[in-house]
Structure 1
Amino acid sequence: MSSEGRSTPATPSGPPWFMANELLAFVVELAALAALAWWGFATGDGVAARLLLGIGAPVVAAVVWGMFAAPRARFRPPLVGVLVVKTVVLGSGVYAVHAVGHPVAAVFFAVVVVANTGLAETFRRRAVPTA
């Protein structure tokens, strides 16, 4: 498979605060997947349903994220499409935290998601001046 036409940097770069925000973005993504697994294992009647939801929900979210929202996504929709995917996946993680009985943690998670995603998407799209 060729990567012609794609310009994906080998290593991310930027000011230290931006790199810290990128690290936080990765942690938020993992937290959303963990929350979906937690919700799945806590929901459903019977062992089979819990296993299906606990494993299936984060797997589906990870596949959708990897196809459309990851930095090296196979299909890269316009910004609106990427934001829709991020809203669905990360919002599902926030809902999952609320659904397992932690509304305050869900609000905190939502605030972190919105702030982190807003900063990341705003500054990723700015042109980096060359020295």
Structure 2
Amino acid sequence: MEILKSINLAIRFMLEICTLIATGMFGFSLSKNIILRVVLAIVCTAIIAVIWGLFVAPKASQRIELPWRILLEMVVFGIATMSLIRTNHVYLAMVFAIAVIINQILLLIWRQ
């Protein structure tokens, strides 16, 4: 069982990285100007990283308590899902959303 719990935590980390990539892709898609595209990709990614780092991460300085943390996590993952949809990756968005839901359920069941 401990192996499954470790795998679930590793999947969670991968979902967090995918969230940063998805929001960066969304920012990059917002303009035709290459400089602006890069800036927007960095800004969108940074906003999500700061929110996650301040309020959600296990060692966050201002970590919020359950159930509010789960709500914020789902909002952030929802933003990533919508970012994938807006960049025409609908199938990937569906797979991502399902993975997030299953992962979150297992995190709660296993109290991770």
Give the TM-score taking structure 2 as reference length: 0.91
AA at the equivalent of 2:27: G
Shift of 1:45: 4.3
Which has the greater radius of gyration? 1
Q: Name whichever of 114-123 and 42-51 sits farther off.
A: 42-51
| Larger RCO (CA under 8 A, 6+ residues apart) | 2
AA at the equivalent of 2:4: W
Structure with greater helix share of residues: 2
Of the three residues 81, 86, 103, the one matched with 1:94 is 81
Q: Which runs of 4+ in 1 moved over 6 A?
A: none
For structure 2, the 5+ residue unaligned runs are none
Shift of 1:51: 2.2
- Mapping of 1:1-131 within 5 angstroms? 15-124=2-111
Report how many aligned residue pairs link the two structures.
112
AA at the equivalent of 1:83: I
Contact 1:36/1:96 (CA < 8 Å) preserved in 2? yes
Q: d(CA) in 2 for partners of 1:58 and 1:92?
A: 11
For structure 1, the 5+ residue unaligned runs are 1-13, 126-131
Residue 9 of structure 2 aligns to a residue whose secondary structure is helix
Residue 110 of structure 2 aligns to a residue whose secondary structure is helix
Percent identity reads 28
**Considering only aligned residues, what root-mean-square deviation do their CA atoms show, in Å?**
1.5
Give the TM-score taking structure 1 as reference length: 0.78
